[in-house]
Structure 1
Amino acid sequence: MLRVAVVGASGYIGGELLRLLIGHPRVEVTVATSNRFAGKRVDGPHPNLRGATDLTFVANDRLAEAEGSFDVLFLATPHKETMGRMPEFLGLAEQVIDLSGDFRLRDPQVYEHHYGTPHTAPELIPTFTTGLPEWHRKEIRESDRISVPGCMATAGILALRPLSEAGLLTGGIQVDARTGSSGSGISAGSSNIHAERSGAMRIFAPNSHRHQAEITQSTGLPVSMTATGVEAVRGVQVLCRVQLTEGTDERALRRAYREAYADERFVRVVAQKRGLYRLPEPKILSGSNFCDVGFSVGDEPGTAVVVGALDNLVKGGSGNAVQCLNIRQGWPESLGLEFTGLHPN
């Protein structure tokens, strides 16, 4: 059994990591850290884990005392804090899978622009591999340091990159992203309480959301991104308005997707003419590691709307991380990730 630790395990992403890893047939979770809940049972803040584990949280500063008790370290720690502690983390485990935003962007200046602070460990950035299996599988197989992309970035990249790789897009891309309340994290504050969130469609990033830099980095095309919080708890949906190269039609778009994702277990092309769910819908993906992608060609010649949807806590975070773990260990990619989602939900 591979022994793993989850740092920052009391939040939503940390809880999903625990759920997936505790149920993984080849993994043993030996350490879960939380300063707030140190000494208390994991199934307190994560009641869905009742009966599944007897783990108790340890304080973050006691992680070093557990040295040698785990092989892989999963980081569900805050942006900006993670980079400062990364040298410590790298000394504690052979493999580190980071779910913070601190090592996603290749350019420290781009990081500073979007996160509002200088990067304190720029020399470590090139040592991390992007944890998006569909486009970085070869590198993940050989990497001991993996940085999992953001949830909206993952949906946008998986929806757009097949088209950019095929040379079917031109000009800038406008991304309209919607996310459920869990995307704000467990400590989001008063703006995320039910009285403020219920019934609201709050545009919390009218422009320049930080995930746009990840999409630009992956596609090579300029991206302008708006993000809106909707009443759902889970889920991300991105609508990407694109300009098509001359002569690109619906058949060319469908062919690009099929060629890119024909052998991908967790990406499905959903672009149907009829039916209740004709385009990607995050509601039916809750709890699953799938990302659905699709498109609709516009009435105006040379335009289309490209759509991506996923569960922000699974394929947009913890599930992607476990998929990377499976690849790195040479295991089947779907191990521990077989759940298909619910309908109705």
Structure 2
Amino acid sequence: MNKVKCAVLGGSGYTAVELLKILLRHPHAEVVAVTSRQEAGKPVSAVHPVLTNRFDLPMENLDPAALQAKGVECVFGCLPHGTSMEVIPPLLDLGMRVIDLSADYRLADPVVYAEWYKETHHDTANLEHAVYGLPELFANAIRGAKLVANPGCYPQTGILGLAPLIRANLIEREGIIIDSKSGVSGAGRTPKLSTLFPECNESVSAYGIGTHRHTPEIEQALSIVGDGPVQVIFTPHLMPMDRGIFSTIYATPRLPLDEGRLVKIYKEYYRGKPFVRVRDTLPATKDTAHTNYLDLYVKLVRGRILILAAEDNLVRGASGVAVQNFNLMFGFDETTALE
């Protein structure tokens, strides 16, 4: 079987190096181009020493025609929001399939995008056809998609943590609380004052209270699952660790439930979904580190439903689920290169 030729855009960041590590062990993928405006001309291994003697292809400036000449069939976009929507249309026009890891195609309504990201969406034509890339919920649409909007890291814990209850209409759809913590790598590789070691070490801080851009993404996906509006209060926190996300979710049941039934609902909902593990023991970020697993635990506490969710923000939260989407799009086993 011929390998699918792939390109990675924005190759200097954390998600790009995680993606490359996965694709290098993928039996059906071949990375033939890595682009970076800042690092063009340097070997990938010079920017990511972990890839020394494993992947030394030089980084290059993004040129759609050059990617086409290399036979690229699938493009992984690891670019910032706002940039992706400018560079992706020519790639789609040339027949390449795109998995975009930015936020540019996640929100279906360009008005909502403009409200939360404070800029106008410039590619509404392709936005209309983009598929939200959460395989556990939208696998059938992902298989035939030309453009997949890879989900955000935080939203996956909230969406998958709540989907079984929303789908069965077992909880109130307002007043849902998602309290999330993330490792520092979630802020990206570009230096910022708040992520300097003396600022974040031995400290926990909240940010984006009531304004975090992942809020409408969570609400949009859950509204699709539940066929009606869902409203959440989402509060992210920065934790002094390299990687990982842990979310504690609180929901109010609409009718009396016992814990045994709750656990059964979750296990049945995610049966056959290889990367969601419904746990009988409390999850922790170390249990999912460097893997594509998302662990869930559900419990009743004083009349409320409590859901705990843990994942690796760089793998399951970004690059791992991107490869999961790639596998679906090109007809490979969903777990290829991810277990």
Give the TM interval when normalised to the shorter protein.
Answer: over 0.9
Cα separation, 2, equivalents of 1:5 and 1:53: 13
1:160 and 2:162 are equivalent in the alignment: yes
Q: Deviations over 1:230-289 (max 9, x none)?
A: 0111111111111111112212321221111111110000143xxxxx2x2112211100
Q: Which moved more, 1:40-49 or 1:86-95?
A: 86-95
Q: Which moved more, 1:100-109 or 1:114-123?
A: 114-123
Q: How does 1:13-52 map to 2 (within 5 A)?
A: 13-52=15-54
Secondary structure at 1:318 match in 2: helix
Q: Deviations over 1:78-103 (max 9, x none)?
A: 01111122212323442111000010
Secondary structure at 1:127 match in 2: coil
Secondary structure at 1:244 match in 2: coil
Of 173, 176, 182 in structure 2, the residue corresponding to residue 173 of structure 1 is 176
Gaps of 5+ in 1: 273-277, 339-345
Measured on the aligned residues, the alpha-carbon RMSD in Å equals: 1.3
Q: How does 1:133-282 map to 2 (within 5 A)?
A: 133-170=135-172, 171-220=174-223, 221-272=230-281, 278=282, 280-282=283-285
Cα separation, 2, equivalents of 1:238 and 1:26: 34
1:112 maps to which residue? 114
Cα separation, 2, equivalents of 1:210 and 1:31: 31
1:334 maps to which residue? 335
C-alpha contact 1:10 1:34 (8 A) present in aligned 2: yes
Cα separation, 1, equivalents of 2:103 and 2:321: 14
Aligned-pair identity in percent equals: 34
C-alpha contact 2:64 2:91 (8 A) present in aligned 1: no
CA shift, 1:125, in A, is 1.3
Q: Deviations over 1:114-158 (max 9, x none)?
A: 111121222221211111110001111111211111000011111
1:308 maps to which residue? 309
* Aligned structure 1 segments of 4 or more residues deviating by more than 6 angstroms: none
1:53 maps to which residue? 55
1:320 and 2:321 are equivalent in the alignment: yes
Cα separation, 1, equivalents of 2:206 and 2:47: 29
Q: Deviations over 1:180-235 (max 9, x none)?
A: 01000001422211111111112122223111211111112101111100011111
Question: What letter corresponds to residue 323 of structure 1 in structure 2?
Answer: Q
CA shift, 1:109, in A, is 1.6
- CA distance 1:32–1:92, change in 2 (3 Å): farther
1:343 maps to which residue? none
Q: How many residues align?
A: 329
Q: Which moved more, 1:16-25 or 1:64-73?
A: 64-73
Secondary structure at 1:293 match in 2: strand
Cα separation, 2, equivalents of 1:123 and 1:224: 31
Gaps of 5+ in 2: 224-229
1:77 maps to which residue? 79
The TM-score normalised by the length of structure 2 is 0.94
Secondary structure at 2:89 match in 1: helix
Cα separation, 2, equivalents of 1:199 and 1:64: 48
